[in-house]
Amino acid sequence: MEKLPTSSRSLRYLPFLVASAFFMQMLDATILNTAIPTIARSFHTHPLQLHSLVTAYMLTVCVLIPASGWVSDKLGSRHTFLFAISLFTFGSLLCALSTSVAMMTACRVVQGIGGAFLMPVGRLVILRSYPRSMFVNVLNIVTIPALLGPLLGPVLGGIIVQYISWHWIFLINIPVGLAGLWATRKLMPDLKAVKEQKFDWPGFLFFSASALLITMSLSTEGGSPDKTRMGILLTAGILFQTVYWALAFRSETPLFSPSLFRIRNFAIGIAGNIVCRLGGSCLPYLVPLFFQVVLGYSALKSGMSLIPLAVSNLLAKTVAPRLLGKFGYRNIMVINTFTIGTLLAAFYFIGPGTHEFTLLSMLALLGAANSIQFTCMNTLTLIDLPNADASSGNSLLSMIMQLSIAVSIATASLLLDCFGGHAATSGPAVESAFHATFVTIGTIAAASSFIFALVDKDKGKTRKKRKTA
């Protein structure tokens, strides 16, 4: 396998190339949310029916993550990264040229195929190119811009929609993508696996098909849920998932090993991630819609109002490790998850007459609580994995995290439709649908407290109580 010399120019600038790709992907994941009402007006449709623009991208990224490492090892990291940036940039251009919801949804899938390879392949190249003594510092350079993406996305999206056109949400990716292609050819090493790894194609197809079918079962057409269609798709999705695990028990190299779930904290972490994220992962989509459709905010004001949520999210990441060391996983996660659920349900009391300070304070608390929760859930899930299962367990967690965003958004949209949000013609009726949706997703998020209550009481504690004299 090719190794970069320590003194090479590539070694100095490679982290900034990967960081730029991460930033572009994370920015794109959030910048669209504030533009949805404007795009809906352009396409002469209801904004509550544009969730497919977000879920199509997230779902595509989700189902292709497991294949990213194998493709990189097969084609080489440089060729794979060039392919990913090219497809992401081309998909962005197609999105800007879209003239209908269906066309843009298809183009978001093209974007998602490229986006699915950017982060995993970039992280893999960093891991293979630098000695372990440099790895933490290099990874910090790479991840900081990725953390800024969700902070800048809603604000930048609001500015673009307010003063230019929603098309530029996608067009700004083109010059960045072209620069990324040039830099990749100059800086990216073409690393390949020394020994070709066997890939579980049957497992990949069944698992991916299951994720697609389950998410599609939650989607509605024309604002009215079709129970028969939903039942068929959901049943097929569950069946495909069952077939996957049946094959996995017999496979020598399964996509995700069933033995992972013999590890108690991994099983609890995955189950808790699914339930908790099902409630909270729709926030970047649901809150900007609520601001614009119910509170009457402009796109710019909507994006600016999300700053407290994003800033508190970043700041809380520095506090989470110390809280864990003092109180342990179970205490923090049970209380924190209930807090998240309560804050989500509290949106029931938010309306056009609510003071902005109250709303911004709620968002700041919610951002901090979500940040602490996600940090705890992720570390709990992976902390007890042996080295032999680390790659498989990490891939499954990454896939669950991406899938949860798509499923959570689809669920929130379904709830809005069920509560009459799409069919409503008056402000109070739409407001009532949003309020009922917030209460429901808050209840779902709070329910994960029962799962995290199964964690060992002292797990994660590092600070011993002082003995009294």
The predicted-structure confidence for 116-147, as pLDDT tens digits, reads as follows 888 778 877 877 777 756 665 676 677 666 66
pLDDT > 90: percent of the chain: 28
Helix, strand or coil, per DSSP, at residue 224: strand
367-388: average pLDDT: 84
pLDDT tens readout for residues 221-237: 655 667 888 889 999 99
Q: What are the helix and strand counts (H, E) for the chain?
A: 18, 0
Amino acid at 140: N
Residues 324-356 pLDDT 10s: 888 888 999 999 999 999 999 999 999 998 898
| pLDDT at residue 467, rounded to an integer | 44
Give the model confidence (pLDDT) of 429-458 as tens digits. Answer: 889 999 999 999 999 999 999 999 999 888
- Name the more confident of 238 and 148: 238
What's the rounded Cα separation, in Å, for the pair 252 and 255? 10
Q: Determine which of 9-13, 57-61, 246-250 has the lowest per-residue pLDDT on average.
A: 9-13
pTM of this prediction? 0.83
What per-residue confidence (pLDDT) applies to 45? 86
Mean pLDDT of 412-427: 75
Torsional sign, CA 451, 314, 146, 168 = positive
Which residue carries 């409503």 as its tokens? 424
- 105 pLDDT above the threshold of 70: yes
Structure confidence at residue 468 (pLDDT):
43
pLDDT at 336: 92
pLDDT at 430: 87
Q: Distance between CA atoms of 81 and 119, rounded to whole angstroms?
A: 10
Lowest mean pLDDT among 377-381, 421-425, 458-462: 421-425
Torsion of CA 291, 171, 219, 150, to 10 degrees: -50
Specify the pLDDT at position 426.
57
Residues 6+ apart with CB under 8 A from 63: 116, 207, 208, 211, 212, 399
